[in-house]
Homo-oligomer: A and B are copies of this chain.
Amino acid sequence: MSERHMKLGAFLMAGGHHIAAWRHPDAHAPAGSDIDHFIAVARIAERGKFDMIFIEDAAAIRERNPDLASQAARSTAFEPLSLLAAIAVNTSHVGLVATASTSYTEPYGLARSFAALDQLSGGRAGWNLVTSASELEAENFASSGLRPHSQRYERAEEFADAALALWDGVEDGTYFPAGGETFADHSKLHPVHWHGKHFAVDGILESQRSPQGRPIMVQAGASDVGKDLAARTADVVFAASQTKAEAQAYYADVKLRLGKYGRGQDDLKVMPGISPIVGATEEEAKAKYRALQEFIPDAVGVALLASYLSVQDLSAYPLDGPLPEMPQTNLIQSRQQLIVDLGKREGLSIRELARHFAGARGHWQVVGTPSQVADAMEERFLDGAADGFNVMAPLFPSGLEDFVTLVVPELQRRGVFRKEYEGRTLRRNLGVASPSKG
């Protein structure tokens, strides 16, 4: 009945989203530095008609503590824009979303790199804008330490505006105008004069106009200021919501903010994460899940939980008791809250929470048959909790392969997911409005 289709993103991670993926016999351990592995995984997503693949990022090693090194094993050795440029020329339809921070670069350089990816891919680039909450990143770039949350977002607002202005400053058909004596039609270039508190840009982007108008903007902010920035500038928001009620609340909250900025309800797609573990039967799915969980050492799980909570250490507390009361910090407020809430709601011990979060890292996890997974997705999709999902396969390539082979056809059969790409650009496939000029 529904003509509305869900959007799907494939959140790539070297060996898999599961913390112990790299220890699993099916995983390709050095995946993070193997470009052929990433290209193969991207092609699986494209075969599954995914709107996009998504590469997370932090410009730092992921973990200072050697005991937690497993955490880092999931990440890639490739800076995301370089990685996606290499994938772009080996794919044809799937969108390519790279994470990049507004805290340690300048808008001109980043706008230009995304424009390049957009040209290379024929209009499939997207930018996941983050403000970088990690101390480890701050140390790589500044002696002054991590900026407070509010300053990071002030900078992000300016950064986004400057980048948007640069992309919009070049009209379609500027270069090699038909029958032209000159190489560029300068009347179609609109110099940007953008002066803010953090940045000044007086120039024209060295690029043609994007084949999709401009790159897609993605955001995953969970704070008020983060959700406002998304409502004003983003085409897609990712979220980490455990329960359906949480997801609905987040969805309603973000959609409500669109009005303030004169945007329509369909202009921003809300795509919460889902961590699916799929088996032909329920037994098989559960066995797959158990096989993964077995590889998590308790020490790793608990240390990881502490790092999610932004506390130094949890080893003073009994493993089988509840979480202690937590101080609020300005770091990743939302994830912290999510963990505390889940612990209270389901009465979980530190060990249980650790296992749970070590596995799916706070994202919604569904273990089941293709139709059980499709049911769960369809329900949230139809009940105002999601416009689509950011699929976090526990293992690569096998977890994504399972999803594409088993769940995608089920979603297609139900008429809630595309059978063919609508077009060649990410914007066209997402069905979000194009910026005016060009």
Contact check, A89 vs B195: say whether CB atoms are below 8 A apart.
no
For chain A, residues 386 to 421, give those with C-beta under 8 angstroms from any C-beta of chain B.
none
Interface locus among A108-116, A279-287, A319-327, A334-342: A108-116
- Taken together as a complex, chains A and B put the C-alpha atoms of A202 and B143 apart, in Å, by 8
CB-defined contacts of A85 to chain B, threshold 8 Å: 81-83, 85-86
- Taken together as a complex, chains A and B put the C-alpha atoms of A82 and B106 apart, in Å, by 17
Q: Does A317 contact B (CB under 8 A)?
A: no
- Identify which of B69, B106, B208 contacts A186 (C-beta below 8 A): B69
- Identify which of B67, B109, B182, B189 contacts A105 (C-beta below 8 A): B109
Given contacts A82-B82, A206-B61, contact A73 B112 (CB under 8 A): no
Given contacts A69-B184, A108-B140, A183-B22, contact A116 B206 (CB under 8 A): no
Contact check, A66 vs B182: say whether CB atoms are below 8 A apart.
yes
Q: Does A75 contact B (CB under 8 A)?
A: yes
- Identify which of B39, B61, B203 contacts A139 (C-beta below 8 A): B203
- Select from chain B the residue with minimum beta-carbon distance to A87: B89
- Select from chain B the residue with minimum beta-carbon distance to A211: B33
A347 CB to closest chain B CB (Å) equals: 33
Contact check, B78 vs A116: say whether CB atoms are below 8 A apart.
yes
Contact check, A136 vs B203: say whether CB atoms are below 8 A apart.
yes
Map CB proximity to B onto A169-203 as digits: 1 under 8 Å, 0 otherwise: 00000011000001110100100000100001111
- Taken together as a complex, chains A and B put the C-alpha atoms of A86 and B90 apart, in Å, by 9
Given contacts A59-B108, A136-B203, A183-B73, contact A86 B83 (CB under 8 A): no
Given contacts A39-B89, A59-B109, A119-B35, contact A206 B66 (CB under 8 A): no
Q: Does A79 contact B (CB under 8 A)?
A: yes
Map CB proximity to B onto A229-264 as digits: 1 under 8 Å, 0 otherwise: 000000000000000000000000000000000000
A interface residue count range (under 10 / 10 to 19 / 20 to 34 / 35 or more): 35 or more
- Complex copy number for this chain: 2
Q: Does A332 contact B (CB under 8 A)?
A: no
- Identify which of B59, B88, B201, B202 contacts A112 (C-beta below 8 A): B59
Q: Does A142 contact B (CB under 8 A)?
A: yes
Map CB proximity to B onto A92-106 as digits: 1 under 8 Å, 0 otherwise: 000000000000111
Contact check, A120 vs B78: say whether CB atoms are below 8 A apart.
yes
CB-defined contacts of A365 to chain B, threshold 8 Å: none
CB-defined contacts of A72 to chain B, threshold 8 Å: 183-184
Contact check, B81 vs A206: say whether CB atoms are below 8 A apart.
no
Contact check, B200 vs A142: say whether CB atoms are below 8 A apart.
yes
Contact check, B82 vs A117: say whether CB atoms are below 8 A apart.
yes
- Taken together as a complex, chains A and B put the C-alpha atoms of A204 and B70 apart, in Å, by 17
> Using a CB–CB distance below 8 Å, which chain A residues touch chain B?
22, 29-30, 32-33, 35, 39, 58-62, 66-67, 69-70, 72-73, 75, 77-79, 81-83, 85-86, 88-90, 104-106, 108-109, 112-113, 115-117, 119-120, 136, 139-143, 175-176, 182-184, 186, 189, 195, 200-208
